[in-house]
Chain A
Amino acid sequence: MNRFHRNSATFWLFLTPVLFAFVMIVAIPFFVGAFYSLTDWNATARAGQGLTFVGFQNFADSFRDPAFLYSFIITTIYTIVNVAVINVLAIALALAVTSKLKLRNVYRMGFFVPYLIGGLILGYLWQFIFNNAVPAIGEATGFLAALAKPENLILGRVPSSIVALVIVGSWQYAGYIMMIYVAAIEGVPEELYEAAQIDGASEWNKFTNITVPMIAQAFTITMFLTLVNSFKQFDVNYSLTAGGPATTFMGDSIFGTELLAMNIYNTAFVGNDLAAGQARAVVFFVVIVAFSLAQVWYNKRKELEL
């Protein structure tokens, strides 16, 4: 029996719209961009006119630029902390809202709500909380009075600003990740817990020996999602700290909370060096691909072992 259509006219006709969009939006800019990263492309140049091939100069310069190196380091720190906080919070919430809790659907929806709002808008909202609401709480409560001092503003210092980015990023994302864990936990057969109950297992034992292995598939997804999304963070960075406050690194005065995505953007549009921005974007891309492959490979292997 012929299980497939043999009509290449229909084949190409049906693929035309997606192929057109793909070539226009992804393929051409991707390859042109890879080429531009090896040239002296700048804001005044037009495609194909007056570009000089400079080899890996832009890459070499980027890795000598303190702002880029610093950005790389804090993005790594931010990503690791953010992934950990989101996942711990999300699992805790998921366990809570899958227990025999009254109104558990209200809780689920409630924790999910921040995820509905875009990072840009949430960043402004939290900027107000850190700059105005937190000092006001400090004033009102005696024991937190230190928070009210202008020199102690959370967004006034680099380390606490990064913590602020993690707070907002986790607060926004945990509810979504929680929902993925909820779906996984609800898929675990009840009999396993009953059997463990009979064997006298503690709640912690049940969690580590039944829940965790049974939701291994979900870990692959959540780790990947949180890792890549934390690494790509731009919106909250833009609206919450805008890269500030300033700091010094390797003798240069630079932005203290400029994550990679923002560093790429600023290099191209504020620094007017499109080629350098593009080279950094290529590095950014390579890291994401490596992350993705490593993460998926690692989790797949782990699933097999369990």
Chain B
Amino acid sequence: MVVFLIIYLYPFVIVLINSAKDAFAVTQFPMQLPEKWGQLFVNMQTIWTSPNIRYGSSFVSSVMITAFSLIFVTIFPAMGAWVLVRTKTKTSHVLFLIFVAAMVIPFQIVMFPLVSWFRTVFQITGIRLLRTYFGIVLAYLGFGLSLSVFVYHGFIKSIPFELEEASIIDGCKLPEVFFRIIFPLLTPVHATIGILHGMWIWNDFLLPLLVLGKGNRIQTLPLAVANFAGAYVKQWDLILTAILMAMIPVLILFFVAQKKIVSGMVAGSIK
């Protein structure tokens, strides 16, 4: 079993040992340990300063896009799900069904019209949605909200209404009831949603490729790696170092919060 796990994870070892080799050694001796580990820092320095990958700014962009998308894709769907649960009308029921049904829509069917629609919005209103943070965060809210609404809806249904009633009698306005009473109760759901959507948004490639485009000032880490691998074909010493550097933040986060991440992923899949 130990042997199997080591083989299973050996691709990561291959990345690590080959990130510490120069261009010659990496193709000649890909399975051997590097001669001197110092080369790792030389390669990392090259990646850090490469104008193709712009690691620092790509990392910041990835963090910003993921963070803002997660804030919106938790707060707004939670608000929506709450009124959908607490209002029993035909409209509310139909809206909920539409949101849930939209979960099966693959990105492929909306991606081309989305890009042309974003261009049209710019021509009419002057608001830039392509190649901007605003556009990509709005896109993630749009594609993520179905699952969020669905999960929040299921959880809010289990919260007793008496809680809200009591605070209304105490003189709370409805928005206050939500933000003071309900929203804090949803913390475990926020965690599940955050992890599920966070993994997706951080690693996503196709949506940023279309909405942000190639060679944009704003690029995510996957875009940056694809850009770099395209520009430095077969320069495996540097490509693997770029891969290593793109993996490090996620791996650190995983080792800090592994239990939470796994349980969030599993809970999200079951719902």
Contact B79 A120 (CB under 8 A): no
- Of all chain B residues, the one with the shortest Cβ separation from A139 is B31
Known: A15-B83, A30-B105. A25 touches B205 (CB 8 A): no
Contacting chain B: which of A1-9, A74-82, A194-202, A247-255? A1-9
Determine how close the nearest CB of chain A comes to the CB of B139; give it in whole angstroms. Answer: 5
Q: How far, in angstroms, from A277 to B270 measured CA to CA in the complex?
A: 33
Contact B269 A132 (CB under 8 A): no
Contact B243 A125 (CB under 8 A): yes
Q: How far, in angstroms, from A266 to B139 measured CA to CA in the complex?
A: 22
Known: A110-B9, A116-B251, A285-B108. A239 touches B14 (CB 8 A): no
Contact A5 B142 (CB under 8 A): no
Partner of B114, one of A25, A116, A292: A25
Contact B30 A133 (CB under 8 A): yes
Report if A208 contacts B (CB, 8 A). Answer: no
Report if A59 contacts B (CB, 8 A). Answer: no
Residue from B9, B205, B258 with most neighbouring chain A CB atoms (10 Å): B205
Chain B residue contacts of A88, Cβ below 8 A: none
Report if A185 contacts B (CB, 8 A). Answer: no
Contact B174 A274 (CB under 8 A): no
Chain A residue contacts of B254, Cβ below 8 A: 109, 113, 116
Partner of A118, one of B109, B143, B174, B222: B222
Chain B residue contacts of A234, Cβ below 8 A: 205-206
Chain A residue contacts of B266, Cβ below 8 A: 179-180, 183
Determine how close the nearest CB of chain B comes to the CB of A218; give it in whole angstroms. Answer: 8
Partner of A30, one of B99, B110, B247: B110
Contact A25 B206 (CB under 8 A): no
For window 11-26 of B, CB contacts with A under 8 Å fall at: 11-12, 14-15, 18, 26
Known: A15-B83, A110-B9, A225-B269. A274 touches B112 (CB 8 A): yes
Contacting chain B: which of A16-24, A60-68, A154-162, A298-306? A16-24
Contact B104 A292 (CB under 8 A): yes
Given contacts A10-B174, A118-B205, A140-B31, 16 further A-B contacts (CB under 8 A): A3-B161, A4-B88, A6-B87, A8-B87, A11-B92, A17-B141, A26-B146, A29-B111, A107-B1, A109-B258, A120-B226, A126-B11, A235-B222, A278-B113, A281-B111, A284-B109
Q: Which residues of A contact B (CB under 8 A)?
A: 3-8, 10-11, 13-15, 17-19, 21-22, 24-26, 28-30, 32-33, 36, 46-47, 96, 101, 106-114, 116-121, 124-126, 128-129, 132-133, 136-137, 140, 171, 176, 179-180, 183, 221, 225, 232, 234-235, 238-239, 261, 264-265, 268, 274, 277-278, 281-282, 284-285, 288-289, 292
Closest 6 CB pairs of A and B: A25-B142, A118-B203, A33-B113, A29-B113, A17-B76, A29-B110
Q: Which residues of B contact A (CB under 8 A)?
A: 1, 5, 8-9, 11-12, 14-15, 18, 26-27, 29-31, 72, 76-77, 79-80, 82-84, 86-88, 92, 95, 99, 102, 104-106, 108-114, 116-117, 119-120, 123, 138-139, 141-143, 145-146, 149, 161, 174-175, 178, 199, 202-206, 222, 225-226, 229, 236, 239-240, 243, 246-247, 250-251, 254, 258, 261-262, 265-266, 269-270
CB-defined A-B contacts under 8 Å, sample of 5:
A4-B161, A18-B76, A46-B116, A110-B5, A285-B108
